[in-house]
């Protein structure tokens, strides 16, 4: 396979070497394009286009999707599809698509402040999420008593019930293709005296064995989100599970270094399977 890897100078620096090394070991060629500074039509000559950029760029991904859809079977395989990438980095799109699995959420549009107050008046804390962002950026927790129209501003934001991660935030690293869901790794991130995992916190990584209800929950989200590679963050309380976010550019290094799971290799094996089926269809 000939693989185009879309990367960013500001993200994924610990994962890129793992991916490149595994592609070499598997006998595949690759070419790296940084910061989406490549005309989408130049990507049409690759077998696989693997986005690891974590860059928000609707114009680029819409153009790529249009080009690929026009070529059908002769197009490269996209990891992930442009539409699913845009859905994942736009939290309002994510909410419309799979919001039924999230904690109570209201999309504040500047005019429905009373709806927000009524929905969360019994809560001590609420979470405010900016519509667009990667890796939990643009997310803050405030006391309900601090809530005001001035604090929310005039642009749309998501207001969500806060659930304390007493037992950690779970991450399911998932492959989803050909209508099947294949877990790569499953673990909890337990924050050290912090209200969340991610930026600003230190977390202990604990591998977990998923329950049947977790598997069912994650399968539904995986199939609906449409992401080939997905890092699904959720929290479990009393046997119930609540989606926090999906990630189209999940870190693979945690599985490699903390759990001893060769996540890049698992991804490449799935790509090889899809590529082989594509070649048979062309014959």
Do both 123 and 154 map to the same domain? yes
Q: What is the CATH number for 62?
A: 3.40.50.2300
Same domain membership, residue 72 and residue 137: no
DSSP state of 134: S
Judge whether 202 lies within some domain. yes
Q: Give me the numbers of helices (H) and strands (E) for the chain, helices first please.
A: 9, 13
Rounded to whole angstroms, the Cα distance separating 9 from 23 reads: 20
Q: With respect to residue 185, please indicate whether it lies within any of the assigned structural domains.
A: yes
Q: What is the CA radius of gyration of the chain?
A: 20
**The pLDDT of residue 63 is above 70:** yes
Please indicate, yes or no, if residue 238 is contained in any of the structural domains: yes
pTM, two decimal places = 0.94
Contact by Cβ (8 Å): 144, 126: yes
Say yes or no: 179 and 191 in one domain.
Answer: yes
| Residues contacting residue 117 through CB under 8 Å, at least 6 positions apart | 147
Q: What is the mean pLDDT of residues 36-65?
A: 95
SS3 content of the chain, % helix, strand, coil (to 5): 40, 30, 30
Query: Which range marks the domain in which residue 31 is found?
Result: 2-88+267-282
Whether 259 is covered by a domain: the verdict is no
Per-residue pLDDT, 101: 98
Are 44 and 114 contained in the same domain? no
**Per-residue pLDDT tens for 76-116?**
999 999 999 999 999 999 999 999 999 999 999 999 999 99
Residue 40 pLDDT grade (very low, low, confident, very high; cuts 50, 70, 90): very high
**What whole-number distance in Å separates Cα of residue 163 and Cα of residue 179?**
31
Whether 211 and 273 map to the same domain: the answer is no
Domain boundary among 144, 161, 178: 161
Same domain assignment for residues 21 and 71: yes
How far is C-alpha 80 from the chain's CA centre? 10
Query: What CATH code is carried by the domain that includes residue 127?
Result: 3.30.1490.20
224 and 182 in one domain? Answer: yes
257 occurs within a structural domain: no
Between 165 and 219, the more confident residue is 219
Do 169 and 156 share a structural domain?
no
> Do 169 and 142 fall into the same domain?
no
- Among residues 246, 252, 182, the alpha carbon closest in space to that of 20 is found at 252
**The predicted structure's pLDDT at residue 135:** 64
Q: 258 lies in a domain?
A: no
> 157-182 pLDDT, tens per residue?
999 999 988 888 999 999 999 999 99
Q: Could you tell me if residue 72 is inside a domain?
A: yes
* Dihedral sign of CA atoms 114, 115, 116, 122 in order: positive
On whether residue 114 sits in a domain, the answer given is yes
Domain count, the chain: 3
């Amino acid at each position: 396979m000939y693989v185009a890897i879309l990367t960013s100078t500001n993200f994924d620096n610990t994962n890129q070497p793992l991916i490149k090394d595994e592609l070499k070991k598997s006998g595949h060629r690759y070419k790296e394009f940084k910061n989406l500074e490549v005309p989408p039509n130049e990507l049409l000559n690759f077998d696989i286009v693997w986005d690891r950029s974590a860059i928000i760029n609707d114009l680029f991904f819409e153009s790529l999707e249009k080009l690929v859809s026009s070529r059908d079977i002769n197009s490269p395989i996209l990891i992930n599809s442009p539409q699913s990438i845009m859905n994942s980095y736009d939290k309002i799109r994510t909410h419309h698509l799979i919001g039924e699995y999230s904690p109570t959420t209201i999309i504040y549009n500047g005019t429905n402040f009373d709806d927000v107050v009524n929905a969360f008046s019994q809560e001590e804390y609420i979470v405010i999420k900016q519509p667009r962002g990667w890796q939990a950026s643009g997310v803050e927790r405030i006391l309900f008593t601090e809530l005001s129209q001035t604090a929310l501003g005039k642009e749309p934001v998501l207001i969500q019930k806060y659930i304390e991660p007493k037992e950690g935030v779970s991450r399911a690293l998932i492959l989803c293709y050909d209508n099947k869901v294949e877990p790569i790794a499953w673990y909890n991130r337990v924050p050290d005296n912090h209200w969340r995992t991610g930026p600003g916190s230190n977390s202990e990584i604990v591998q977990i064995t998923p329950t049947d209800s977790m598997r069912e929950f994650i399968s539904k989200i995986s199939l609906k989100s449409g992401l080939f590679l997905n890092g699904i963050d959720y929290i479990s309380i009393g046997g119930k599970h609540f989606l926090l976010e999906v990630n189209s550019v999940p870190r693979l290094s945690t599985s490699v270094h903390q759990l001893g799971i060769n996540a890049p290799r698992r991804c490449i094996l799935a790509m090889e399977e899809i590529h082989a089926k594509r070649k048979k269809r062309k014959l």
